Chain A
Amino acid sequence: MIGLGYRRELAAWLETKPAGIDFLEITAEHFFQGGEKQLARLAGQYRLLVHGLGLSLGTPGDLDPARLEQFARVVGWAKPEWISDHIAFTRTAEADLGHLNPVPPTRQMLQIIAGHVREVSQRCGKPMLLENITSHVRLTGDLAETDFINRLCERAECGLLLDVTNLFINSRNHGYDPLAWLREIEPRHIRQLHLVGYAREGGRHIDSHDAPVQEELIELAGAVVAYAPVQAIILERDDESPPIPELQQELAKLRRIRGTG
């Protein structure tokens, strides 16, 4: 099943119900100020997923109650099949950092995130997936990253939203084999994929979210799909929505992964 990250500038095109789009992934924060009718309309046309950017599941202490309520309200409107956020923190006890940052793979962090995931999932009444992020810092802990993710999925009773682009970028920036990393993840945890092209800057790979999907990412995604029971692949073209024909070409690349294109 193929899907697309929803952006308001795509609304008119999506109204025409273009072929081959099974899912739309909604960014919860884009609807915190309202949008109930719009979401109800979309829910009548597409299978929806709700993706969060700022629950900050890795921050020790309580979740931000106001943000959790806003998130739950959007979930109530969209009635998604599942919800997701990141293995990350965006906020500390002192400040909002405005973006996703890595957490150390420790037993202590495992408890923090698992507790938060259970709380969000229970409050929203939906199963939850966790997404791996891109990070330029590779934090260490008492667990290997893949072991941490496997244990987290088990303890929190959640799945993994594997961002193939983030895996590829991290493997290049930190010098490891993405396929070896993949084989250390329990395949049953991987339920959804994100894909978008990467960029290069200052000798590093970065997740600019504005580039066409490169061939090596298609190959890596193909390996994931062959390995795990993936239910949805989402094109996550956030920052620079391309013209519709280009977007359709990008979606066709994703269908190729599943052999349906």
Chain B
Amino acid sequence: MERVDFITAFGRLLRDGDLRDRLAADPRSAAEQAGLHPDDWPAWRQLEPADVEFQAEVLLRKRLDEVRRMLPETCRALGETLWPRFHAYARKHWPAEPEAKIRDAAQFCRQLAAQATGLVCAAERNRLDFAVSGRRFAVRRVRLKNAGEADRVGLQFFRRRRDGRPMEIFIGLGW
């Protein structure tokens, strides 16, 4: 395996929950898995797994802040279960560039939908799916839930601008 500098290996540790579990169980094996250069072993050996986990959680909370901006209704609906659900997802998944923030929100949304929580806002999910799809145009029928009111049905029209940014129009189809 290619050997990497301490910062790269430490970055891998902060991004990968399974690797952190391994650090707690067997630091040398975790160093091997991270590809740490042997010269950096003395610094790695000093890492306290609980401290590394807390530092990693700081990064997860920053990610959640971004996800919350893109999934406000879904996150609101999840209430107190938001953090444990996001933590369970994010500890094992690190979004790839480019558009890592959008991919993160889209992947979390898909995972929630797969868990059949019934709490995913369909309009938000459609918006993110379109953003990561690369398609130029899409139409989705959507039923919006309004607390205390009747559901609202409509169509979401998505189009990608020349600069790549998506735009959206919603047309209601009645109540």
- Interface residues of chain A, those whose CB is within 8 Å of chain B, are 58-60, 89, 92-99, 101-104, 106, 135-141, 202, 204, 206
Contacts and interface: CB of A to CB of B under 8 A. Distances in A.
Nearest to B66: A98
Interface of B: 4-8, 10-12, 14-15, 42-43, 46-48, 51-52, 54-55, 58-59, 62-63, 66, 94, 97, 100
Q: Which 7 A-B pairs have the closest CB atoms?
A: A92-B11, A136-B54, A136-B55, A137-B51, A140-B46, A99-B62, A92-B8
Contacts of B10: 92, 101
B129 to A, nearest CB: 23
Contacts of B97: 95-96
Residue with the highest number of chain B CB atoms closer than 10 Å, among A93, A103, A136, A141:
A136
Contacts of A94: 8, 11-12
B28 to A, nearest CB: 17
Contacts of B100: 96
Given A95-B97, A99-B62, A137 B48 contact: yes
B94 A95 contact: yes
A60 B4 CA distance: 11
A137 B47 contact: yes
Given A60-B5, A97-B59, A104-B6, A136 B12 contact: no
A136 B51 contact: yes
B43 A141 contact: yes
Given A96-B97, A137-B47, A58 B55 contact: no
Contacts of A106: 43
A97 B15 contact: yes
A96 B99 CA distance: 11
A204 B57 CA distance: 13
Contact of A137 (B5, B6, B52, B63): B52
Nearest to A61: B5
6 contacts: A58-B7, A97-B14, A101-B11, A101-B14, A136-B58, A137-B54
Given A136-B54, A138-B51, A98 B62 contact: yes
B171 to A, nearest CB: 30
Contacts of A138: 48, 51
A135 B11 contact: no
A99 B66 CA distance: 12
A97 B51 contact: no
A97 to B, nearest CB: 6
Contacts of B42: 140
B15 A95 contact: yes
A226 B59 CA distance: 35
Given A93-B4, A138-B51, A140-B42, 8 more contacts: A92-B11, A94-B8, A96-B97, A101-B55, A104-B6, A136-B58, A139-B47, A141-B43
A60 B11 CA distance: 12
Residue with the highest number of chain B CB atoms closer than 10 Å, among A102, A104, A106:
A104
A106 B40 CA distance: 11
Contacts of A102: 55
A139 B5 CA distance: 15
B46 A139 contact: yes
Contacts of A96: 97, 100
B99 to A, nearest CB: 11
B7 A103 contact: yes
Contacts of B51: 136-138
A97 B8 CA distance: 11
B54 A99 contact: no
B11 A97 contact: yes
A243 B93 CA distance: 38
Given A59-B7, A140-B43, A141-B43, A99 B12 contact: no
Nearest to A203: B54
Contacts of A93: 4, 8
